[in-house]
Amino acid sequence: MPHPDVEAETLVETAYAKVNVALHVRARRDDGYHALESLFVFAEDGDRLEGQTTDDGVIGLIIDGPFGAGLEAGSDNLVTRAARALQAHIGERRGAAIRLTKNLPVASGIGGGSADAAAALRLLVRLWDVRIEPERLAELALDLGSDVPACVASVTQLVTGRGEHLARHNVDGLEGLPMLLVNPGVGVSTASVFAGWDRQDRGSLNAASLELLIEEGRNDLENAAIAVAPGIAQILDALRGADGLLLARMSGSGATCFGLFGNMAAMADAVQAVRAEHPGWWIMETRIRSA
């Protein structure tokens, strides 16, 4: 037990925003999930988690930040669930006081909740000095949600199945690219978007090169998401009119879209134009995170 005059060490993790450079939906599975093929990349920025060990066994969560009001800090929060799952698995008697600063929009297709849960696992592994096999940590992550295992590593990965099959994947010229994230300010239900998918298998994902991702990659949920949130189409139109753009596409089930640019100056010009026309949209200027 730490001395009462000694402040507990505070550790920090970033919950990196997840972006689907391409998302191919191949089939609806018998278990209700969908068979997916996707290339996940992660932004250098995202939500922030900080935590301290406590001696009472309690998992305490405080949420603040620009989008903190959109979340409850109760037992159903993914951060709390992740902490309790790890605590139970290792038999940890200590607790943790966690603060989540929510910088990413909620229900926005960039893995906010999944990234938060994954960051909580990383944070507590460090905070409690946990020895756990990566395979077991991945199993705990998958129990929390399909995207959580990929978010634990937060590196560029090919993701298949419902999200449980992961493979580190290098695409020349992709990591480090300037990336602009734009959201129209609406939350989109993942379930409703998947329900609106037309069930057409348009073929497998070829992520062998950046050029193939741009030319042949797609997001098969885009039309279904636009039917729910028409603002997505407005964002894509705005991004596709920008000079220096390499690719504009929706991420996940929406409503956030992304633009990849050849350089930071081109992205800065696009930001200025988008903000002038649509001052109410949420915008994040970042880069694709490298390993």
**Which of 125, 143, 168 is at the close of a domain?**
168
Q: Are residues 134 and 49 in the same domain?
A: yes
Q: Are residues 25 and 96 in the same domain?
A: yes
What average pLDDT does the chain have? 95
Give the N- to C-terminal CA distance of the chain in Å, as an integer.
Answer: 36
**Which of 103, 133, 168 is at the close of a domain?**
168
Helix (H) or strand (E) holding 170: none
Q: Cα separation of 23 and 290, whole Å?
A: 20
Whole-model pTM? Answer: 0.94
pLDDT in tens, 107-166: 899 999 999 999 999 999 999 999 999 999 999 999 999 899 999 999 999 999 988 899
Determine the distance from the C-alpha atom of residue 215 to the mean position of all C-alpha atoms in its chain, rounded to a whole number.
Answer: 24
**Is residue 2 situated within a structural domain?**
no
Q: Are residues 269 and 137 in the same domain?
A: no
Q: Are residues 252 and 142 in the same domain?
A: no
Q: Residue 250 burial (CB < 10 Å; 0-12/13-18/19+)?
A: buried
Residue 85 has pLDDT above 70, yes or no: yes
Say what the pLDDT of residue 4 is.
46
Q: Are residues 116 and 191 in the same domain?
A: no
**Is residue 212 situated within a structural domain?**
yes
Q: Are residues 54 and 155 in the same domain?
A: yes
**Is residue 1 situated within a structural domain?**
no
Q: Are residues 133 and 55 in the same domain?
A: yes
Q: What is the mean pLDDT of residues 181-206?
A: 94
Catalytic residues: 18, 147
Q: Are residues 164 and 275 in the same domain?
A: no
Phi-psi region of 10 (alpha: psi -120 to 50; beta: other; left: phi over 0): beta
Residue 2 has pLDDT above 70, yes or no: no
CB atoms inside a 10 Å sphere around CB 236: 18
Q: Are residues 198 and 256 in the same domain?
A: yes
Say what the pLDDT of residue 278 is.
97
Say what the pLDDT of residue 7 is.
62
Residue type, 262: G
Q: Are residues 156 and 183 in the same domain?
A: no
Calculate what percentage of the chain has a pLDDT beyond 70. 98
pLDDT in tens, 211-267: 999 999 999 999 999 999 999 999 999 999 999 999 999 999 999 999 999 999 999
Residue 1 has pLDDT above 50, yes or no: no
Tell me which residue range forms the domain holding 211: 178-287
Say what the pLDDT of residue 121 is.
98
Q: DSSP for 46-79, please give it.
A: EEEEEEEEESS--EEEEEESTTGGGS--STTSHH
CATH number at residue 140: 3.30.230.10
Q: Are residues 116 and 241 in the same domain?
A: no
**Is residue 140 situated within a structural domain?**
yes
CATH number at residue 266: 3.30.70.890
Residue 73 has pLDDT above 60, yes or no: yes
**Which of 168, 186, 206 is at the close of a domain?**
168
**Is residue 6 situated within a structural domain?**
no
